[in-house]
Amino acid sequence: MTVDLRAQAVTAGAVPEVCARHGQPATRRGKTVFRSYTPKWAYVLLLFGVLPFAIVAAVLQKRVKAPTWPFCADCGRLRIRRLLIGVGLVVLAVVGAVALSALLPPSDSTAGPIVLVFVLLLIAGLGVASTAANGSIASGYVSKDGSILHLRRAHDRFAEQVAALRRGPVPQPHQAYPPPYPEAGRPQYPLYPVAGPQYGPATPAWPGQGQGDQPR
Ligand SMILES: [Zn+2]
């Protein structure tokens, strides 16, 4: 399920004690930046070049910085796995490209498509490595207006703690506090006047004035 947190609370550090993904107690708390998605229409700007797109995307992007986001041991392992796969793909692409340039004569016609494969491999590696970032491990993204942090596929325990945080501290029964002043010395006012003031019959303000809407 997707769980929503107020961005304000997240920045203030009001976050659960368990990680969002596995619902396990946090073994590490890390600074985590959550971002909003780039609106789909902005991709049209790619037709005019990468730079206009990048500028608009950066301006529109909303960020929420969590100072102490919880991560469990499994989150840590997932992070290392993604990092290793990402770096592995990048290394493979670089080594492959170097080997290719050493093995093939420069005029070989198959070099072009093979280089393209290595470039795609490089991009894929960087992409996977970027999912090792805290925000991706937590699987959170920010709403368009920047006010809400959505957690995708949040664990039930995480959702429960978020609900508890939202309810706030448990209110204490009134008996826990001494009364503001002794009951005995307290003047006993009736909550409402027992009988309202008795108004007399309406009198004309000056002679000859009518009685308003009152029936005659
Ligand atoms: Zn976890």
Q: So what's the pLDDT on residue 1? A: 86
CA-closest candidate to residue 18, choices 10, 28, 8, 31: 28
Cα–ligand 1 centroid distance for 117 (angstroms): 34
Residue 202: exposure state from Cβ atoms within 10 A (0-12, 13-18, ≥19): exposed
In angstroms, the CA 214 to CA 149 distance is 62
**16 has pLDDT over 80:** yes
Residue type, 186: R
3-state secondary structure of 145: coil
Cα–ligand 1 centroid distance for 26 (angstroms): 7
Cα–ligand 1 centroid distance for 152 (angstroms): 13
pLDDT, averaged across the chain: 84
- What does the pLDDT look like over 95-151, one tens digit per residue? 988 888 788 776 767 777 888 888 999 999 999 999 999 999 999 999 999 999 999
Cα–ligand 1 centroid distance for 14 (angstroms): 18
- What does the pLDDT look like over 164-181, one tens digit per residue? 988 877 665 555 455 555
In angstroms, the CA 205 to CA 191 distance is 34
- Cα Rg of the chain, angstroms: 34
**187 has pLDDT over 60:** no
Query: What's the mean pLDDT in 180-207?
Result: 57
**55 has pLDDT over 70:** yes
Cα–ligand 1 centroid distance for 1 (angstroms): 16
Cα–ligand 1 centroid distance for 100 (angstroms): 41
